[in-house]
Structure 1
Amino acid sequence: MIPIVDDSFAGFSAMLAGYRQFYLLAEAVRSGIVDAVEAGSDTPAALADCLNLQPDETGRFVDLLCTLGLLQQRDDRLGLSPFSQRFLSRASTENQRNTLLFEPLLIENWRQVGTILQQGQGALTQPQPQDAYHKRLELFQASMAEAASVRSAELWHALAPLLPPQGIIMDIGAGEGAYLRAFLQRYPDWQGIACDLPDVCVRIMCQDLPGKLTVLPCNILDQQEFSACTAAHHGTAGLVLLSNLLHCYGPQENGALLEQAAGMLTPDGLLVVHDFFRDANLYGALYDLHMLVNTWNGRCYSSIDTSALLQEVGLTHTRLIKLPSHSWAVLASRSQVALHRDEL
């Protein structure tokens, strides 16, 4: 993302053409070029031959991939750059290929920002047939799991000095459980509980789960259902995580959600709101517009507003942690000591 820092035409041109890099990135994967290079097709001619592409056009496209840093060329032989090895290679544990497939679905709504400005948020949110809903949900969950492979490592590394050696972690809106699996791998003496919608929990249970991870199907927007779930775990969790969740809902929904979540904490437990914040950086600010066009009433909150919401539900002490990949974490607890164990 390119913030406006001056009135240069170069800056305008870079913002104007930003979409081109996404389509270049997506086509490098969709066309099979990344896979073919990794499999050993190390010249443009070899790529064109094995993928049934036009030789001249493929050569020009490959040159651009090298210029952008997706491929690298040594001794006239092509290979994947470190960037592509990490994010585009099928063999990488951090590959983001499902994210590239999901993004075009979101772009369709971005093209209709004017409709939102004229008709209001939620105008583009329409019921979907069950088969379309499940396909979109599957791609969404896979995309979120890919991002979590990177962001979870950042989050748990940052929180390491604050965590006791054992306890219970409750992940509300756990998705496919990527954050919990990463956490339990790092902290095997903890127990994990994944809370999400029943059809999402089915996806978690289809995986090879760590022995200390259990699943709690629940609709967190159903107050009666969620209250029953939280009551069963009242005062037991040393850590409650809400990652990329608050931005999906409005203030009233989040107030009720945080009140229930706070009730699950031990007296010195930590509640972690890991999200994008509109006062954090350009990514967070743009993510607010992303919520505006793609959700019924979601939005990105400021870190100050989030801290205020947490204090309203009795978590009087808060702390902000900034993470490398655009996201931040707002921590809250009834215990000031719990937020500053790293300083003791």
Structure 2
Amino acid sequence: MTNETTPELRRGWTTGACATAATKAALMRLWGGAFPQEVGITLPKGETPVFPLVLTEAGAGFARVGITKDAGDDPDVTHGALIVVTVTVSLGGVVFAAGEGVGTVTKAGLPIAVGEPAINPVPREMITAVVQEMADRFGQPPDIRVEVSVPGGRALALKTWNPRLGIEGGLSILGTTGVVRPFSCAAWIASIHRGIDVARAEKLPHVAGCTGATSEKAVQALYDLPDHAMLDMGDFAGGMLKYLVKRPVGRVTIGGGIGKMTKLAQGAVDLHSKRSQVDFAGLADLSGDMRVAEANTALEAYEIAGSALAEKVAGQALAQVQARFGSPDIAFDIVIIDRKGAIIARAGA
């Protein structure tokens, strides 16, 4: 008998960390006269990564550095992207600018003001600290314009939540710790929270969280909701609902297929297949059809018991949500769809 261990997933570095390192290396050229071969920075929790420089350019009054983002083993759309920073002297203080492929904030509710480059607060703090560090080292005033670019970022941003959040023209420069941890649930949930913040700032009366693209399309069409009303809930119903309790929106629709909505009906709020399972005996009791207990999937159970089961699941899911997250400020409803996107059951508002 052998013992096998799962190899540890490799972590990576955020776009914010890459931009900070690129800023430091560019200032070493602007103020010190030479580019380093690699550059190290200290992240908020004390990690000290070192980044090789893959692009270096300089001229009269500017220096530019590019660093390739390594997201480790996380399936990050920006893995392999080139993060480029160009530094020039500003009229006063650290000034941020969005270059090619970096978005601009166009909707309220995000932690960056409307009209500002989509460079999040912690990366701004990290970059500002590096500017001060280099200014102290080279005896210069910390008056620097930092332009961040991501070649190809406009196309990459279409694979993110940025368009829905009102970030136009490209990617966000992100990171609260500087570290990308593989398959981070926290990062996904944080994006859901930002979607809620934007919806509230826009004073939307109705938002929807769905488990996937098919249910999202059906729910959006059912209620004629704008894109920024659609929260990318995925499996994280609990992460969405807990935040909504504190920051309510008047009406909240939860949509998904029969399998994930059954889990919700049975009390799960993390709907991922590895973290929650359908209780088929309980589903049989709910349906009143004991054949359902022998089903292998919720879809098979639905095929056995028919639309009456779907309606009961929708009703029980609504009851679970109201019991755990009910608020006088929120009206909930549930929409269940089949694999083709047809609505098979509804409950609630």
Shorter-chain TM-score range: 0.3 to 0.5
Which has the larger helix fraction? 1
- TM-score, normalised via structure 1 length: 0.32
Q: More relative contact order in 1 or in 2 (CA 8 Å, sep 6+)?
A: 2
Which has the larger strand fraction? 2
- TM-score, normalised via structure 2 length: 0.32
Higher Rg of the two aligned structures? 2
